[in-house]
Amino acid sequence: MTTLVWFRDDLRLADHPALAAACEDPDGIVALYLLDEASPGVRRLGGAARWWLHHSLTALREELAARGVPLVLRRGPAGDVVPRVVAECGANAVTWNRRYGAEREVDAALKESLRVSGVDARSFPGGLLHEPWTVTTQAGGYYRVYSAFWRACQVRPGPAEPLPEPTSWTAAPRQPASEELTDWELLPTAPDWAAGLRERWEPGEAAADERLEDFLHLDADEYAGRRDTPAAAATSSLSPHLRWGEVSPRTVWRRALRSGADVGAFLGELGWREFAWHTLFHHPDLHRRGLDPRFDAFAWQEPDPAELAAWQRGQTGFPIVDAGMRELWQTGVMHNRVRMVTASFLVKNLLVDWRIGESWFWDTLVDADAASNPFNWQWVAGCGADAAPYFRIFNPLTQAKKFDPDGGYVRRWAPDSAALPELVDLRATRERALAAYAALGSR
């Protein structure tokens, strides 16, 4: 008797229901991480995400090893690899925390086939505050407007108490061989573009825990007033830790409430994360298709390679756009306000299809998230759930004046930008975008 616990986007030991359940098996556990880029619906990770994953797996492997449990690494489609590992270790049970995107079809098929072969396959909640199918409108449908969604979440019973890390650890006697993490080549080789990521981040559960603690005790009271000021760096920086499940949203939720800090606005942002996942649950092709079907026929411009490269590299001549894109390239994240401004610039001033911008973010963000990234790009483009109205075209000059009045953010990331020629005429491109959007018909 052995239980196999399959780690996915939940690279932690605390508040990990699938791990807690597995550790109840007195005969011991096998811990598996599977790099699956072959199953249908699974999106290949971007470069920055691969960098994070390498380090997060290293941290998880060390924590498990300290408790006497090896981490088994394998590659391949889950439908083939999981049953093979089950056979190798003689497991009679498999546990995992649920996924909510297109991969859930893979999980459902696997669960069925394991059960047919007599293996007890069990899934648990772990990545969200509320399971998506539990938050429904009165008519039984799902919410398309954030405020109504978040109100509905709040009248539901609160998220369950986070589970502590298991106290009893037994490694199963038959441990399957592991692949070498370095053979996966998740880290960049030449050129090594990850210096800025190494400087900015420490992946892993311990670092996530420390970040949460520091935020709640040092910055949380200032959050509501300063969260929209990119130069203040007053937000939590928890997004990659949440993306990789190094801390659970339930833990963040409970500890925030207990901190005594003024956390209402912060919890509301966790609500946006929740809403993005809720939307992905109902639209698994969120990164491919606008929720508003009229956008299928939208008159996007074929991107000019030079213009696209200028946007990607932060060479547009609009300082707040350039600062954001360079912050992203160097650190793997960008302040939320500036994500909106840079995305609006691409989609509305350059009239480039939001999916092209979404893919660039997918490749360069360490917090690249299957729900939040396409959800927010759709929001900016105007085709998503509760999206920005089409006539909201962020003017990068007024945005900079309003949100970076002292210029501290631009000075830090793109001090030379104001001297560059401006890539576009803001007024003319705004008119062009308004005309293209008007052609869609009234909303």
Closer Cβ to ligand FAD, 17 or 357, answer by number = 357
Nearer to ligand FAD, 165 or 269 (CB): 269
First to last CA, the chain: 59
The Cα 354–Cα 343 span in angstroms is: 8
- Catalytic annotation, residues: 269, 272, 300, 336, 354, 377
Beta carbon of residue 319, minimum distance to ligand FAD (angstroms, whole number): 19
Angle between helices 205-214 and 47-66 (to 10 degrees): 100
Q: CB 308 → ligand FAD: shortest distance, Å?
A: 16
Contacts of residue 14, defined as CB under 8 A and 6 or more positions apart, other chains included, come to: 162, 163, 164, 165, 205, 248, 251
* Residue 235 C-beta: closest distance to ligand FAD, Å: 3
Q: What are the tokens at 362?
A: 């997918």
Among 372, 378, 399, 417, binds ligand FAD (CB under 6 A): 372
| Distance of closest approach, residue 110 Cβ to ligand FAD, in angstroms | 26
Contact present, 364 and 324 (Cβ < 8 Å): no
Contact between 350 and 321 (Cβ < 8 Å): no
H helix or E strand, kind and range, residue 68:
none
CB of 127 to ligand FAD, least distance (A): 11
Opening angle at CA 264, ends 228 and 213, nearest 5: 85
Site for ligand FAD in 312-371 (CB under 6 A): 336, 339-340, 343, 361, 365, 367-369
Closer of 53 and 94 to ligand FAD (Cβ): 53
Residues 37-66: x where in contact with ligand FAD by CB under 6 A, - otherwise, as a string: ------------------------------
Under the criterion CB under 6 A, does residue 270 sit at the interface with ligand FAD?
Answer: yes
Backbone angles phi and psi of 319, in degrees to 5: -55, -40
Q: Name the packing angle between helices 319-331 and 336-344 (round to 10°).
A: 120
Contact map string, positions 163 to 192, toward ligand FAD, x by CB under 6 A = ------------------------------
Q: How far is CA 345 from the centre of its chain?
A: 22
The pattern of x and - marking residues 396 through 415 that bind ligand FAD according to CB under 6 A reads --------------------
Q: Which residues in the 374-393 window bind ligand FAD by CB under 6 A?
A: 376-377, 380
CA distance 147 to 142: 13
Structure tokens at 134: 């539990």
We find the least distance from the C-beta atom of residue 64 to ligand FAD, in angstroms, to be: 25
Q: Name residue 124's beta-bridge partners.
A: 97
Interface with ligand FAD (CB under 6 A): 227, 235-239, 242-243, 269-270, 272-273, 276, 336, 339-340, 343, 361, 365, 367-369, 372-373, 376-377, 380
